[in-house]
Amino acid sequence: MLKHKGFPGRQRGTDFQFTIRRANPDGATPLVARERFADRKPADRAADAAFVACLWARFGRDPFVRGNLDAGRLSWLFGREVVPAEDPFDPASYKSTLVIDVERARVSFPEAFGGRSLP
């Protein structure tokens, strides 16, 4: 499992996890597109925005390996703001590659991009 050195382990001041410490011996938790309802708690929405901001700062428009990124946090974005970068895609692999759908992420989480225009 690739470890993304320097990537925040969690959202600052909270227990919202962004990365995992070690690989699951039974295999990676599969990524699934989780439904986000309009009545989600503000703290949950803030954690999603902070995670998108970290992904954008680290990877930008480039594809990235899932590695030690938390499956639960990725699943809140999967299929919308974060999409597979390969075909076929294995949702249960630490080696699978993903990419940010920048246009959709910017609409969903404008605060994650700091209001700046995209390159």
pLDDT digits (tens, 9 = 90+) for 64-112: 999 999 999 999 999 999 999 999 999 999 999 999 999 999 999 998 8
Whether 118 is covered by a domain: the verdict is: no
Whether 6 is covered by a domain: the verdict is: yes
Strand spans (E) along 1-119:
64-65, 82-84, 97-100
The pLDDT score that the predictor gives to residue 77 is: 96
Range of the domain at 23: 1-112
Q: Using CB atoms within 10 A of its CB, is residue 66 exposed (0-12), middle (13-18) or buried (19+)?
A: buried
Q: How many domains does the chain have?
A: 1
Whether 119 is covered by a domain: the verdict is: no
Whether 67 is covered by a domain: the verdict is: yes
Whether 93 is covered by a domain: the verdict is: yes
Q: Identify residue 110 by its one-letter amino acid code.
A: P
Whether 10 is covered by a domain: the verdict is: yes
Whether 87 is covered by a domain: the verdict is: yes
Whether 18 is covered by a domain: the verdict is: yes
Instruction: Tell me the whole-structure pTM to 2 decimals.
Output: 0.90
Retrieve residue 33's tokens: 């597109």
Residue 45 CB contacts under 8 Å (≥ 6 apart), including other chains: none
